[in-house]
Protein backbone atom coordinates (compact mmCIF):
# COMPACT_ATOMS: atom_id res chain seq x y z
CA UNK A 1 0.00 0.00 0.00
CA UNK A 2 1.36 3.49 -0.91
CA UNK A 3 2.78 5.55 1.97
CA UNK A 4 0.44 8.40 1.01
CA UNK A 5 -2.60 6.19 1.53
CA UNK A 6 -1.17 4.71 4.74
CA UNK A 7 -0.55 8.15 6.26
CA UNK A 8 -4.04 9.36 5.33
CA UNK A 9 -5.56 6.34 7.11
CA UNK A 10 -3.41 6.99 10.21
CA UNK A 11 -4.45 10.64 10.09
CA UNK A 12 -8.14 9.66 9.83
CA UNK A 13 -7.83 7.27 12.76
CA UNK A 14 -6.12 9.96 14.84
CA UNK A 15 -8.94 12.42 14.11
CA UNK A 16 -11.61 9.81 14.83
CA UNK A 17 -10.00 8.97 18.19
CA UNK A 18 -9.66 12.66 19.00
CA UNK A 19 -13.29 13.40 18.10
CA UNK A 20 -14.51 10.42 20.11
CA UNK A 21 -12.64 11.81 23.13
CA UNK A 22 -14.22 15.26 22.59
CA UNK A 23 -17.73 13.89 21.83
CA UNK A 24 -17.85 15.99 18.60
CA UNK A 25 -20.22 14.96 15.78
CA UNK A 26 -17.90 16.24 12.93
CA UNK A 27 -17.09 13.52 10.40
CA UNK A 28 -13.30 12.95 10.05
CA UNK A 29 -12.11 14.99 7.06
CA UNK A 30 -9.37 12.53 6.11
CA UNK A 31 -11.35 10.18 3.82
CA UNK A 32 -9.96 11.88 0.68
CA UNK A 33 -7.16 9.72 -0.71
CA UNK A 34 -7.60 6.95 1.83
CA UNK A 35 -8.46 3.90 -0.25
CA UNK A 36 -9.86 6.01 -3.05
CA UNK A 37 -7.39 4.29 -5.39
CA UNK A 38 -9.09 1.91 -7.81
CA UNK A 39 -12.22 3.87 -7.07
CA UNK A 40 -13.93 2.05 -9.88
CA UNK A 41 -14.77 -0.34 -7.01
CA UNK A 42 -15.76 0.81 -3.50
CA UNK A 43 -12.88 2.21 -1.47
CA UNK A 44 -13.15 -0.57 1.09
CA UNK A 45 -13.05 -3.20 -1.65
CA UNK A 46 -9.60 -2.06 -2.77
CA UNK A 47 -8.28 -0.68 0.53
CA UNK A 48 -6.05 -3.65 1.18
CA UNK A 49 -5.22 -4.37 -2.46
CA UNK A 50 -2.35 -2.98 -4.51
CA UNK A 51 -4.11 -1.18 -7.34
CA UNK A 52 -2.38 -1.49 -10.71
CA UNK A 53 -3.55 0.52 -13.71
CA UNK A 54 -2.41 -1.22 -16.92
CA UNK A 55 -2.55 0.59 -20.28
CA UNK A 56 -2.24 -2.09 -22.99
CA UNK A 57 -1.56 -1.32 -26.68
CA UNK A 58 -4.51 -3.28 -28.01
CA UNK A 59 -5.36 -6.80 -29.17
CA UNK A 60 -3.68 -6.72 -32.60
CA UNK A 61 -1.75 -9.98 -32.40
CA UNK A 62 -1.39 -13.39 -30.78
CA UNK A 63 1.60 -11.95 -28.97
CA UNK A 64 -0.51 -9.18 -27.47
CA UNK A 65 -3.16 -11.65 -26.36
CA UNK A 66 -0.51 -13.71 -24.55
CA UNK A 67 0.95 -10.55 -22.99
CA UNK A 68 -2.45 -9.43 -21.71
CA UNK A 69 -3.19 -12.90 -20.33
CA UNK A 70 0.13 -12.91 -18.48
CA UNK A 71 -0.72 -9.61 -16.78
CA UNK A 72 -4.29 -10.64 -15.96
CA UNK A 73 -3.16 -14.02 -14.59
CA UNK A 74 -0.59 -12.29 -12.39
CA UNK A 75 -2.49 -9.35 -10.92
CA UNK A 76 -5.42 -11.12 -9.29
CA UNK A 77 -7.33 -10.18 -6.14
CA UNK A 78 -6.46 -13.44 -4.39
CA UNK A 79 -2.81 -12.41 -4.77
CA UNK A 80 -3.52 -8.97 -3.31
CA UNK A 81 -3.97 -6.87 -6.43
CA UNK A 82 -6.72 -4.95 -8.18
CA UNK A 83 -5.96 -4.67 -11.91
CA UNK A 84 -7.57 -1.86 -13.86
CA UNK A 85 -7.06 -2.83 -17.52
CA UNK A 86 -7.39 -0.53 -20.53
CA UNK A 87 -7.13 -1.61 -24.20
CA UNK A 88 -6.02 1.41 -26.27
CA UNK A 89 -6.85 -0.14 -29.66
CA UNK A 90 -3.37 0.82 -30.87
CA UNK A 91 -3.98 4.55 -30.33
CA UNK A 92 -1.58 6.61 -28.23
CA UNK A 93 -4.27 9.16 -27.37
CA UNK A 94 -6.28 6.37 -25.72
CA UNK A 95 -3.25 5.37 -23.65
CA UNK A 96 -2.73 8.95 -22.52
CA UNK A 97 -6.40 9.18 -21.49
CA UNK A 98 -6.12 5.87 -19.62
CA UNK A 99 -3.05 7.08 -17.71
CA UNK A 100 -4.89 10.26 -16.71
CA UNK A 101 -7.80 8.16 -15.48
CA UNK A 102 -5.42 5.99 -13.45
CA UNK A 103 -3.96 9.16 -11.88
CA UNK A 104 -7.45 10.40 -11.03
CA UNK A 105 -8.25 7.05 -9.42
CA UNK A 106 -5.01 7.30 -7.40
CA UNK A 107 -3.80 3.83 -8.40
CA UNK A 108 -0.70 2.58 -6.65
CA UNK A 109 1.19 1.75 -9.86
CA UNK A 110 0.82 2.50 -13.55
CA UNK A 111 2.03 -0.09 -16.05
CA UNK A 112 2.35 1.14 -19.64
CA UNK A 113 2.90 -0.99 -22.74
CA UNK A 114 3.61 1.94 -25.08
CA UNK A 115 2.32 1.75 -28.66
CA UNK A 116 5.17 3.99 -29.89
CA UNK A 117 8.34 5.41 -28.35
CA UNK A 118 7.66 9.16 -28.33
CA UNK A 119 4.96 11.49 -26.97
CA UNK A 120 4.93 10.39 -23.31
CA UNK A 121 6.75 13.19 -21.48
CA UNK A 122 3.72 15.31 -20.53
CA UNK A 123 1.47 12.56 -19.18
CA UNK A 124 4.28 10.75 -17.38
CA UNK A 125 5.21 14.07 -15.69
CA UNK A 126 1.61 14.20 -14.45
CA UNK A 127 2.00 10.68 -13.03
CA UNK A 128 5.32 11.63 -11.42
CA UNK A 129 3.77 14.76 -9.87
CA UNK A 130 0.99 12.54 -8.49
CA UNK A 131 3.61 10.31 -6.88
CA UNK A 132 2.59 7.21 -8.87
CA UNK A 133 5.46 4.96 -10.05
CA UNK A 134 5.28 4.07 -13.77
CA UNK A 135 6.59 0.74 -15.06
CA UNK A 136 7.14 0.42 -18.81
CA UNK A 137 6.65 -3.04 -20.30
CA UNK A 138 7.56 -4.53 -23.69
CA UNK A 139 8.41 -1.65 -26.02
CA UNK A 140 10.59 1.26 -24.88
CA UNK A 141 9.78 4.96 -24.56
CA UNK A 142 11.96 7.90 -25.60
CA UNK A 143 11.60 10.62 -22.94
CA UNK A 144 13.72 13.68 -22.07
CA UNK A 145 13.99 12.60 -18.41
CA UNK A 146 14.24 8.91 -17.56
CA UNK A 147 13.08 9.58 -14.00
CA UNK A 148 9.62 9.71 -15.59
CA UNK A 149 9.54 5.93 -15.33
CA UNK A 150 10.75 3.70 -12.52
CA UNK A 151 11.64 0.57 -14.48
CA UNK A 152 11.33 -1.09 -17.90
CA UNK A 153 11.15 -4.78 -18.80
CA UNK A 154 11.08 -6.02 -22.38
CA UNK A 155 12.97 -7.34 -25.36
CA UNK A 156 16.05 -6.29 -27.29
CA UNK A 157 14.41 -5.86 -30.66
CA UNK A 158 17.61 -5.02 -32.46
CA UNK A 159 19.18 -8.30 -31.39
CA UNK A 160 16.01 -10.12 -32.45
CA UNK A 161 16.47 -8.61 -35.91
CA UNK A 162 20.19 -9.44 -35.95
CA UNK A 163 19.26 -13.06 -35.16
CA UNK A 164 16.97 -13.17 -38.21
CA UNK A 165 19.59 -11.53 -40.44
CA UNK A 166 22.20 -14.06 -39.30
CA UNK A 167 19.87 -16.86 -40.43
CA UNK A 168 19.41 -15.13 -43.79
CA UNK A 169 23.20 -14.82 -44.19
CA UNK A 170 23.57 -18.56 -43.55
CA UNK A 171 20.67 -19.71 -45.70
CA UNK A 172 20.47 -17.36 -48.67
CA UNK A 173 22.72 -17.05 -51.70
CA UNK A 174 25.83 -14.99 -51.12
CA UNK A 175 26.13 -14.18 -54.82
CA UNK A 176 22.77 -14.38 -56.63
CA UNK A 177 20.34 -11.47 -56.16
CA UNK A 178 18.18 -11.85 -53.04
CA UNK A 179 14.95 -9.87 -53.42
CA UNK A 180 13.43 -9.09 -50.00
CA UNK A 181 9.93 -7.86 -49.09
CA UNK A 182 10.02 -6.06 -45.75
CA UNK A 183 6.68 -5.97 -43.90
CA UNK A 184 7.28 -3.69 -40.93
CA UNK A 185 5.44 -3.49 -37.63
CA UNK A 186 3.72 -0.42 -36.19
CA UNK A 187 5.92 2.46 -37.33
CA UNK A 188 7.65 4.15 -34.42
CA UNK A 189 7.34 1.21 -32.05
CA UNK A 190 10.57 -0.16 -30.58
CA UNK A 191 9.82 -3.57 -32.04
CA UNK A 192 9.58 -2.09 -35.54
CA UNK A 193 12.58 0.20 -35.08
CA UNK A 194 14.92 -2.56 -33.87
CA UNK A 195 13.81 -5.28 -36.27
CA UNK A 196 13.83 -2.88 -39.24
CA UNK A 197 17.28 -1.44 -38.45
CA UNK A 198 18.72 -4.95 -38.34
CA UNK A 199 17.41 -5.82 -41.80
CA UNK A 200 18.37 -2.48 -43.37
CA UNK A 201 21.89 -2.70 -41.90
CA UNK A 202 22.12 -6.33 -43.02
CA UNK A 203 21.11 -5.44 -46.57
CA UNK A 204 23.72 -2.68 -46.61
CA UNK A 205 26.39 -5.30 -45.90
CA UNK A 206 25.35 -7.56 -48.77
CA UNK A 207 25.41 -6.00 -52.24
CA UNK A 208 23.26 -8.86 -53.60
CA UNK A 209 20.44 -8.20 -51.08
CA UNK A 210 17.69 -5.94 -52.45
CA UNK A 211 14.81 -4.68 -50.28
CA UNK A 212 12.35 -4.35 -53.15
CA UNK A 213 9.38 -3.28 -50.99
CA UNK A 214 9.06 -1.91 -47.45
CA UNK A 215 5.67 -1.16 -45.87
CA UNK A 216 4.00 -1.40 -42.45
CA UNK A 217 1.73 -4.36 -41.81
CA UNK A 218 0.80 -2.77 -38.43
CA UNK A 219 1.50 -6.13 -36.71
CA UNK A 220 -1.84 -7.46 -37.99
CA UNK A 221 -2.69 -10.43 -40.23
CA UNK A 222 -5.11 -8.46 -42.37
CA UNK A 223 -2.66 -5.69 -43.14
CA UNK A 224 0.18 -8.18 -43.65
CA UNK A 225 -1.89 -9.98 -46.27
CA UNK A 226 -2.89 -6.71 -47.95
CA UNK A 227 0.74 -5.57 -48.22
CA UNK A 228 1.93 -8.93 -49.59
CA UNK A 229 -0.93 -9.09 -52.14
CA UNK A 230 0.04 -5.67 -53.41
CA UNK A 231 3.74 -6.55 -53.69
CA UNK A 232 3.01 -9.87 -55.46
CA UNK A 233 1.16 -7.89 -58.13
CA UNK A 234 4.26 -5.72 -58.69
CA UNK A 235 7.10 -8.27 -58.45
CA UNK A 236 7.40 -11.79 -59.84
CA UNK A 237 10.84 -12.55 -58.43
CA UNK A 238 10.64 -12.45 -54.62
CA UNK A 239 13.03 -14.57 -52.56
CA UNK A 240 12.21 -13.65 -48.94
CA UNK A 241 9.50 -11.91 -46.97
CA UNK A 242 10.71 -10.49 -43.63
CA UNK A 243 7.61 -10.11 -41.44
CA UNK A 244 8.04 -8.22 -38.17
CA UNK A 245 5.56 -10.46 -36.36
CA UNK A 246 3.74 -13.78 -36.72
CA UNK A 247 0.38 -12.29 -37.60
CA UNK A 248 1.88 -10.40 -40.55
CA UNK A 249 3.51 -13.68 -41.59
CA UNK A 250 0.16 -15.49 -41.50
CA UNK A 251 -1.27 -12.83 -43.80
CA UNK A 252 1.74 -12.95 -46.11
CA UNK A 253 1.51 -16.76 -46.35
CA UNK A 254 -2.18 -16.51 -47.29
CA UNK A 255 -1.34 -13.97 -49.99
CA UNK A 256 1.56 -16.04 -51.37
CA UNK A 257 -0.54 -19.20 -51.59
CA UNK A 258 -3.51 -17.32 -53.09
CA UNK A 259 -1.11 -16.12 -55.80
CA UNK A 260 -0.28 -19.72 -56.65
CA UNK A 261 3.20 -19.64 -55.14
CA UNK A 262 4.72 -21.68 -52.32
CA UNK A 263 6.49 -20.45 -49.20
CA UNK A 264 8.85 -21.65 -46.51
CA UNK A 265 11.07 -24.72 -46.68
CA UNK A 266 11.73 -25.59 -50.37
CA UNK A 267 9.17 -22.88 -51.24
CA UNK A 268 9.36 -20.10 -53.84
CA UNK A 269 9.50 -17.47 -51.07
CA UNK A 270 11.22 -17.90 -47.70
CA UNK A 271 9.39 -16.48 -44.67
CA UNK A 272 11.07 -14.86 -41.67
CA UNK A 273 8.92 -13.99 -38.66
CA UNK A 274 9.06 -12.73 -35.07
CA UNK A 275 7.24 -13.57 -31.83
CA UNK A 276 7.35 -17.40 -31.94
CA UNK A 277 3.78 -17.64 -30.68
CA UNK A 278 2.11 -21.04 -30.57
CA UNK A 279 0.45 -20.36 -33.92
CA UNK A 280 3.71 -19.06 -35.40
CA UNK A 281 5.67 -22.13 -34.33
CA UNK A 282 2.90 -24.37 -35.68
CA UNK A 283 3.43 -22.75 -39.08
CA UNK A 284 7.18 -23.17 -38.63
CA UNK A 285 6.72 -26.88 -37.89
CA UNK A 286 4.55 -27.09 -41.02
CA UNK A 287 7.47 -25.62 -42.97
CA UNK A 288 5.63 -22.45 -44.02
CA UNK A 289 7.76 -20.17 -41.83
CA UNK A 290 11.49 -20.81 -42.22
CA UNK A 291 12.69 -19.01 -39.09
CA UNK A 292 10.72 -17.55 -36.18
CA UNK A 293 12.55 -15.35 -33.66
CA UNK A 294 11.03 -15.41 -30.17
CA UNK A 295 9.72 -12.28 -28.47
CA UNK A 296 8.67 -13.30 -24.99
CA UNK A 297 5.31 -11.77 -23.91
CA UNK A 298 5.12 -13.27 -20.41
CA UNK A 299 5.84 -10.04 -18.57
CA UNK A 300 3.25 -10.37 -15.78
CA UNK A 301 5.57 -12.07 -13.26
CA UNK A 302 8.42 -9.73 -14.20
CA UNK A 303 6.28 -6.64 -13.55
CA UNK A 304 5.06 -8.17 -10.29
CA UNK A 305 8.66 -8.66 -9.14
CA UNK A 306 9.32 -4.97 -9.80
CA UNK A 307 6.22 -3.96 -7.82
CA UNK A 308 7.15 -6.26 -4.94
CA UNK A 309 10.61 -4.70 -4.86
CA UNK A 310 9.07 -1.24 -4.68
CA UNK A 311 6.60 -2.32 -2.00
CA UNK A 312 9.58 -3.57 0.03
CA UNK A 313 11.39 -0.25 -0.40
CA UNK A 314 13.96 -1.76 -2.77
CA UNK A 315 15.16 -0.20 -6.03
CA UNK A 316 14.50 -2.45 -9.04
CA UNK A 317 16.80 -2.58 -12.06
CA UNK A 318 16.01 0.30 -14.38
CA UNK A 319 16.19 -1.86 -17.52
CA UNK A 320 15.56 -5.63 -17.61
CA UNK A 321 15.91 -7.52 -20.89
CA UNK A 322 14.25 -10.91 -21.26
CA UNK A 323 16.10 -13.92 -22.71
CA UNK A 324 14.81 -15.13 -26.05
CA UNK A 325 15.43 -17.94 -28.56
CA UNK A 326 14.77 -18.57 -32.25
CA UNK A 327 13.26 -21.54 -34.06
CA UNK A 328 14.20 -23.08 -37.43
CA UNK A 329 11.69 -25.10 -39.46
CA UNK A 330 14.32 -27.79 -40.00
CA UNK A 331 14.83 -28.48 -36.30
CA UNK A 332 11.62 -27.55 -34.46
CA UNK A 333 9.44 -30.37 -33.08
CA UNK A 334 5.92 -30.66 -31.72
CA UNK A 335 7.42 -31.48 -28.33
CA UNK A 336 9.22 -28.12 -28.30
CA UNK A 337 5.95 -26.35 -29.09
CA UNK A 338 3.98 -28.33 -26.50
CA UNK A 339 6.50 -27.47 -23.78
CA UNK A 340 6.06 -23.71 -24.25
CA UNK A 341 3.84 -21.50 -22.12
CA UNK A 342 2.46 -19.48 -25.06
Give the interface segment with ligand GZL, choosing from 42-50, 57-65, 77-85, 333-341 (CB under 6 A): 57-65
Smaller CB distance to ligand GZL: residue 35 or 194? 194
292 binds ligand GZL (CB under 6 A): no
Tally of residues, the chain: 342
219 binds ligand GZL (CB under 6 A): yes
- Report the DSSP beta bridge partners of residue 134: 110
CA separation for the pair 336, 339 (Å, rounded): 5
Specify whether the CB–CB gap between 299 and 154 falls below 8 A.
yes
CA atoms within 13 A on the CB side of 180: 27
The b-or-e profile of 213-243 (16+ CB within 10 A means b, else e) is: bbbbbbbbbebbbbbbbebbeeeeebbbbbb
273 binds ligand GZL (CB under 6 A): no
Specify whether the CB–CB gap between 152 and 137 falls below 8 A.
yes
Smaller CB distance to ligand GZL: residue 61 or 283? 61
Smaller CB distance to ligand GZL: residue 8 or 220? 220
Count residues contacting ligand GZL (CB under 6 A)?
A: 13
Among 2, 139, 182, 302, the residue binding ligand GZL under the rule CB under 6 A is: 139
Among 196, 245, 283, 290, the residue binding ligand GZL under the rule CB under 6 A is: 245
Among 47, 162, 163, 275, the residue binding ligand GZL under the rule CB under 6 A is: 275
106 binds ligand GZL (CB under 6 A): no
Least separation, in Å, of the C-beta of 95 and ligand GZL? 13
Kindly tell me the burial class for residue 209, based on how many C-beta atoms sit within 10 Å of its own C-beta (0-12, 13-18, 19 or more): buried
DSSP for 206-223, written as a single string: -TTEEEEEEEE-TT-HHH
Which residues, 6 or more positions from 154, have their beta carbon under 8 angstroms from its beta carbon?
136, 137, 138, 139, 140, 190, 299, 320, 321, 322
Smaller CB distance to ligand GZL: residue 75 or 274? 274
95 binds ligand GZL (CB under 6 A): no
Specify whether the CB–CB gap between 164 and 198 falls below 8 A.
yes
Least separation, in Å, of the C-beta of 304 and ligand GZL? 18
Least separation, in Å, of the C-beta of 120 and ligand GZL? 15
Applying CB under 6 A, the residues found at the interface with ligand GZL are 60-61, 63-64, 138-139, 155, 191, 219, 245, 274-275, 295
Amino acid sequence: MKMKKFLSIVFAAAIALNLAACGSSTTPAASAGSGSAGSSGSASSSDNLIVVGFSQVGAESDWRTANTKSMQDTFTEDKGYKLIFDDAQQKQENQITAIRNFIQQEVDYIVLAPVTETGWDTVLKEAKDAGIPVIIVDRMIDVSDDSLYTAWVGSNFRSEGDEAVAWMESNLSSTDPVNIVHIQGTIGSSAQIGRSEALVDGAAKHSNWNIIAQQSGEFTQAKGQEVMESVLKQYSDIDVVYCENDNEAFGAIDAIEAAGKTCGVNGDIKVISFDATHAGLTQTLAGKINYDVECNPLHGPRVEAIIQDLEAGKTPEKLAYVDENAFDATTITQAIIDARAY
